[in-house]
Structure 1
Amino acid sequence: MNLTFLSFFRSLQPDRNKHYAVIGLGRFGRAVCHTLHQLGYEVVGVDSDERRVAQALTDQIAVGAVQLNSTDPAAFQEAGICEIDTVIVAIGNYIEESVITTLNLKEAGVACVVARASSQIHEKLLKKVGQTM
Structure 2
Amino acid sequence: MGIGIDEDTGIIVQGDTFEVLGESYVVIYDGTRWSKERDTIYELPKGSREFYTLKSGDEYNLKTRSVITFEDKEFLSLSESELKKYCSDYKLVGANRISKMFIENGALQFKTNGQTFSLYPSQKLDFT
Which protein, 1 or 2, shows the higher relative CO under an 8 Å CA cutoff with sep ≥ 6? 1
Q: Which structure's residues are more often strand, by fraction?
A: 2
TM-score norm. by structure 1 comes to 0.21
Q: Radius of gyration: which is bigger?
A: 2
Question: TM (normalized to structure 2)?
Answer: 0.21
